[in-house]
Amino acid sequence: MTAPIGTGPRILVGVDDSPAAAAAVRWAAEFARWTGGQVALLHIRPRLLAPGLVARGCTAGLDPAAADALVADLAAGLRGSAVQACAEVVGGDPARVLIARSARVDLLVLGGESRRRQRGLLLGAVAQQCTRQARCPIVLVPAPADVHQAASLAVPAGAAPAGPTPTTLPVVVMT
């Protein structure tokens, strides 16, 4: 789907509390500033199969109050920097929800690194499924090489970015 004439792209960002997701939100915000786009932040709480048991490839995630606070704070920060933004928390299988929603947006932005990178998994299960099945282009944004420098990667509205470095370059997947 494409945006109507006269409006910027609709950008969907899958968020959790990971450094890669935070980098994805920053990337999407800057892209929205450049293009006049609108950012929708989406956190998906995996449905429990049984008490304490979630589907393979999913983590238990944030508790509901923390998830609500996370996306509300992120959206408020974006709106404070002149980016149109909304936020939502839903339940479901994260990959399936993102893939379904990708049919109604122009761009899907995800953190591109697995929480299990130390075990050799560079791309998380959700990102892998989305790259194969999403209905729009996807941008996978890596976490900063040094998580403590994450806050310094944000570019104020109207400022020119210093230029990408190999650790901050996103990967674009056309589906």
- Span 6-55, pLDDT tens digits: 479 999 999 998 888 999 999 999 999 999 999 999 999 987 655 554 44
Residue 130 in contact with residue 98, Cβ under 8 Å? Answer: yes
Residue 175: both structure tokens together: 């589906």
Confidence (pLDDT) at 123: 72
- The CATH architecture to which 10-173 belongs is 3-Layer(aba) Sandwich (3.40)
Distance, CA of 92 to CA of 89 (rounded, Å): 10
Q: At what angle do helices 125-133 and 94-101 cross, to 10 degrees?
A: 30
Which of 102, 131, 123 lies closest to 44, judged by CA?
A: 102
DSSP H or E stretch at residue 86: strand 84-91
Confidence of residue 148 (pLDDT cuts 50, 70, 90): very low
pLDDT digits (tens, 9 = 90+) for 53-83: 444 444 445 678 888 999 999 999 999 999 9
Phi and psi of 94, rounded to 5°? Answer: -55, -45
- Domain ranges in the chain are 10-173
Q: The tokens 């299960």 sit on which residue?
A: 125
